[in-house]
Amino acid sequence: MEDFYPSRISEKPQIMKRRDPVIHTDRKHDHEAPLTKDQLDFYEENGFLQIENLFSDKEVAAMQKAIFELQESNSCVQSEKMIREPNSNEIRSIFAVDQDDDYFKDIAADQRLLDIVNHLLGSDVYVHQSRINYKPGFSGKEFNWHSDFETWHTEDGMPRMRALSMSIALSDNYVHNGPLMLVPGSHKYYVSCIGATPEDNYKESLKTQKVGVPDNDSLKWLVDQGGGLSVATGKAGTITIFESNTMHASTSNMTPYPRNNLFMVYNSVENKLVEPFAGAGERPEYIAVRKTTEPLGKEKILK
């Protein structure tokens, strides 16, 4: 298959234009959308969107309890799906929560979320990746600048930009406890990164990402395009949707307040994974789903 977004191949970084729509539904049908025109315009222009109060306080409290229990019950468990902080034994991420736990499976298939995702991606969808990111107080370390799509394309073989992340804040995200930082408008460009992909890169990259991060000049260029930087703060329950190629990062958490988020990555069923473009073998199913790609939701959008 043609590589529309080459990366980690050339010795020089390169910035190219995005070659896919941001909203994959014909915008003539916006009146049927679960989002307002202003929300859709914001997402299309900035590459992310925050929504408050989609879940009730009771639902948010239940999710908080569920991720706390998972953290407690796994504190001594050794599993590949459990990523520890680089310099401590605290849990940084738990992957594939929607595959392993019916409660999270139901959240991923919540029709309120699917209505939005189906509209933005213009098709049926499945979960490409799910995870809880715990960023514990004092010890939670940063996530370097990256476009998720760059990794999913090179390491997982995701062909096109037709996926998005849905992040549900499960603690209050303040400016000071390491919230998500985004470069508004960066989703319109693709930074082709330098550096080959090491074997089993994910074993390191999920703790500290070194390959697939933009060079400083490219990042500055993206920020200088006018959008500056945005910070996705919000009370627990706030949803942040961000496009697969939106450049983002977060700093370490030096405060006593944990920053916990649940992530579901939805991919279009028309954009299923092929062979990884970096040629370095497939990542495990708990990071990049290949088997369970049946469309989610009660009413399927048939094409």
For the chain, count helices (H), then strands (E). Answer: 8, 13
Residue 4 CB-density burial (10 A; 0-12 exposed, 13-18 middle, 19+ buried): middle
Q: Which residues contact 16 (CB under 8 A, 6 or more apart)?
A: 5, 189, 190, 192
Tokens 């025109």, located at residue: 37
> Do 194 and 278 contact (CB within 8 A), yes or no?
no
Among 85, 90, 124, 148, binds ligand 6CS (CB under 6 A): 148
3-state DSSP helix/strand/coil percent for the chain, to nearest 5? Answer: 25, 20, 50
Provide, rounded to whole angstroms, the least separation between the CB of residue 303 and ligand 6CS: 27
Distance CA 42, CA 168 (A): 19
* 154 forms part of the interface with ligand 6CS (CB under 6 A): no
Name the residue among 154, 180, 158 with its Cα closest to residue 169.
180
Q: Which stretch binds ligand 6CS (CB under 6 A): 31-39, 68-76, 143-151, 220-228?
A: 143-151
* 250 forms part of the interface with ligand 6CS (CB under 6 A): no
Tokens coding 56:
């009730």
Sketch the per residue contact string, 283 through 302, with ligand 6CS: x for CB under 6 A, - otherwise: ----x---------------
Of all residues in this chain, which one has the CB nearest to Fe ion in the complex? Answer: 148
Which residue, 189 or 242, has its beta carbon nearer to ligand 6CS? 242
How many residues belong to the site for ligand 6CS (CB under 6 A)? 9
Q: How many CB atoms lie within 10 A of CB 2?
A: 6
Among 25, 46, 173, 205, binds ligand 6CS (CB under 6 A): 205
Provide, rounded to whole angstroms, the least separation between the CB of residue 162 and Fe ion: 17
Q: Which residues contact 104 (CB under 8 A, 6 or more apart)?
A: 66, 97, 98, 130, 262
* 143 forms part of the interface with ligand 6CS (CB under 6 A): yes
Q: Choose the contact partner of 209 out of Fe ion, ligand 6CS, none; CB within 5 to 8 A by kind.
A: ligand 6CS
* 245 forms part of the interface with ligand 6CS (CB under 6 A): no
For the chain, what is the radius of gyration of the CA atoms? 18
Provide, rounded to whole angstroms, the least separation between the CB of residue 156 and Fe ion: 13
Among 129, 186, 245, 246, binds ligand 6CS (CB under 6 A): 129
Q: Which stretch binds ligand 6CS (CB under 6 A): 140-148, 174-182, 219-227, 268-276?
A: 140-148
Which residue, 13 or 276, has its beta carbon nearer to ligand 6CS? 276
Binding residues for ligand 6CS, rule: CB under 6 A, are 129, 143, 146, 148, 151, 205-206, 209, 287
